[in-house]
Amino acid sequence: MFSWILFVLIVIVFFTAFLLIRTLSLHRREQNVEPVENIKLDNQLIARHLSDTIRCQTISNQEISEKDFSPWLQLHDILKKNYPLLNKTLTKQEINRYSLLYKWPGKNSTLKPILFAAHLDVVPADKDTGKQWTHPSFSGEVDREFVWGRGALDMKNHLVALMEAVEFLVREGYSPKRTIYLAFGHDEEIYGLEGALKISQWLEKQGIKLGAVLDEGGNISQEILKGVDFPVAAVSAGEKGFLTLNVSAHGKPGHSSAPPRQTAISIIARALALIADNPMPAKLDAITPLFQSAGAQLPLLWQVMSANTWLFKGILVKQLEKSTLLNAQIRTTSAATMISGGVKDNVMPAFAQAKVNFRLLPGDTVEKVIAHVKKTVADPRVELELEEGRGWESSLISPIDAPAYYTLELAIKQVFNNILVTPSIFRGATDARHYEKICKYVYRFTPLLTLPEDAARVHGIDERIRIKDLGQMVNFFIRIIRLWGEAEF
C-alpha cells in the first residue's frame, strides 16, 4: 500500500515539475531601451486642429454615392491650411477625387518607400442618441482635458497626429533617407473600395513596392487580463476577415388571433439564438504571443495555464471568454446587427430578415463559416445568403521577425517608457489589407492608451480623446517616421 502511495506522490512531483518547467519557458527577459525625451509641442493648437477636422462631417454610409461630398473637400482645404510646410514640401495627389496621397521624396531611391495610412471618413452618430452626448457629436468641442466628437478616436486623431508629426519634422529641417507616403482613404468605414484600394492600385501601376505600411489597429490597453494591471501595446500583424449573412424566412400572412406555432419572426429569432449560442471553436494561436511576451509579468495561474494549453485549454478558453475583447481574439465572432419583419401588430408577417456580421479568425474561411451556420441552424425554412460585397477572408499575417517590426517595437518602447509590446490580430477591418499586394510588412497600431471605459466610445456615444494623449501620438509618429525613414530594410 505504501509503495503505491509513494508511486503516486512521485508521479505528482514529476508532473508538477514538468508543468513548472514549461511555465518557466515563458520567463524571457524583456530588453529595455533608452527612452527618448518627449518633444514639447503645442498640444492646445493640435487639439484645435483636430477639432477643425471633426467639424467636417465626412460621414460614410452604404448610400455614399448619393451623398454630398462637400465635407471631404472642406477637410482637404483644412489640411492644406493647417499644415502649410507639409503641403509645400510634399507633393499631393487626389486619388478618385476624395482620397489623398502625399509623397515625401527620400534621398536614396534604391530603398523601398514606406507608407503611413489613415482615413478621412467617420461613421454616423445615431440621431436617437443625440441628447446623450455631452457635446454635439460634430461640435469638435475642446475643453481643458478633451477634444470631443465623432472621429476623435476613429480616426481623425490618427490623421491629425500624422500630419502634425510631418509638419514638425519639415519645420526642423528633416529630410528622410527613403521616400515616405501618407495615404488617406475617404471610405474606410464602408470597406475602402473607392479609397485605399484605389490608392494601392495607383501605386501598383507605378511599379511601387512598399517596404512597410502602418495603419490604425491595436492600441495600448490597460487590464487586458484579470489580475494584469500593466499596459500592453498590441501591434496587429494581421486582421480578421469579414462576412455578413442575410438570414431570412417566409411566413403565411393572416390575423394574429389564430397564429401558427411559429411565425416568420419566430423562425428568425430561433435561428439567431442558435447562431449566438453555438460559436465557431476557439483557437489560441492569435493570443499565444501575448502570453509569451508578458511571461513572468502574468499572475502565476495565467502563466501555468498559458504554458500548458495541452492540459488547461478548456479552462483558459472559459476565462478568456469572460472578456468580449479577448473572446474576439480566440474565435470567429458573430453579431446579429439588423432585423426587420412585419407590418402591423395584429398581422402575421409574410417575411422576416436579419443580418448577422461575422469577424473571421485566420484559419476560418468564409466557406467554413457558412457551412457552420447551416449546420447549426438546420432549418429548411431559414434561407442564408451572403450579402453582396460583404465577405472577405482574413488578411495575410505579416512577419514579426523582421527589421520593420523590430523598429516599430523599438519606437513604441522608446516613446511609451518600455511598455510591453506584443503582436496580435486586429478584430476590425482596416484599409491596411488593401496594401498587401504591394507590401509584405503591413502593421496596424494606434499609439493611444485606451482605458476600459473608452472602448465603448468608438462608434458610440461621447467619443473623445485626451489632449495629452493626442500630443503623445504626435511624439510617437515623429519617432517612427525618423526610424523607418532612416532604416535600410
What string of DSSP letters covers 325-348? HHHHHHS-EEEEEEEEE-SSTTEE
Which of 219-228, 368-377, 423-432, 471-480 shows the lowest per-residue confidence on average (mean pLDDT)? 219-228
Asked if the structure places residue 68 within a domain, the reply is yes
Q: Is the pLDDT of residue 307 over 90?
A: no
Q: Please give the Cα distance from 91 to 56 (Å, whole number).
A: 23
- Report the CATH number at residue 440: 3.40.630.10
Asked if the structure places residue 34 within a domain, the reply is no
- The b-or-e profile of 171-187 (16+ CB within 10 A means b, else e) is eeeeebebbbbbbbbbb
- Report the CATH number at residue 339: 3.30.70.360
**Grid cell listed for 247:** 438570414
**Grid cell listed for 413:** 518602447
The pLDDT tens digits for 266-304 are 999 999 999 999 999 999 988 888 787 777 777 777 788
Report percent pLDDT > 70 for the chain.
92
Q: Please give the Cα distance from 255 to 346 (Å, whole number).
A: 6
Nearest to 360 by CA among 399, 328, 398, 323: 328
Q: Please give the Cα distance from 304 to 18 (Å, whole number).
A: 11
Q: 453 φ, ψ to 5°? A: -75, -15
Q: Is the pLDDT of residue 228 over 80?
A: no
Q: Do 245 and 183 share a structural domain?
A: no
Which residues make Cβ contacts (< 8 Å) with residue 103, sequence separation at least 6? 90, 91, 92, 93, 179, 180, 181
Q: Is the pLDDT of residue 29 over 60?
A: no
Given the residues 154, 188, 454, 463, select the one marked as catalytic.
188
Q: Is the pLDDT of residue 64 over 80?
A: no
* Residue numbers of the domain that contains 315: 239-392
Q: Of 370, 392, 414, which one is at a domain's C-terminal end?
A: 392
Q: Do 259 and 195 share a structural domain?
A: no
Q: Do 243 and 207 share a structural domain?
A: no
**DSSP one-letter code for 1:** -
What is the pLDDT, as a whole number, of residue 99? Answer: 98
- The b-or-e profile of 69-88 (16+ CB within 10 A means b, else e) is eebbebbbebbeebbeebbe
Average pLDDT for residues 405-412, to the nearest whole number? 97
Asked if the structure places residue 401 within a domain, the reply is no
Asked if 370 and 364 count as a contact pair (C-beta separation under 8 A), the reply is no
Given the residues 121, 189, 194, 431, select the one marked as catalytic.
121
Q: Is the pLDDT of residue 13 over 70?
A: no
Asked if the structure places residue 421 within a domain, the reply is no
Q: Do 459 and 356 share a structural domain?
A: no
Q: Do 162 and 306 share a structural domain?
A: no
- Helix 467-486 and helix 156-171, axial crossing angle in degrees, nearest 10: 60
Asked if the structure places residue 323 within a domain, the reply is yes
The pLDDT tens digits for 105-126 are 999 999 999 999 999 999 999 8
379 is catalytic: no
121 is catalytic: yes
What pTM value is reported for the model? 0.91
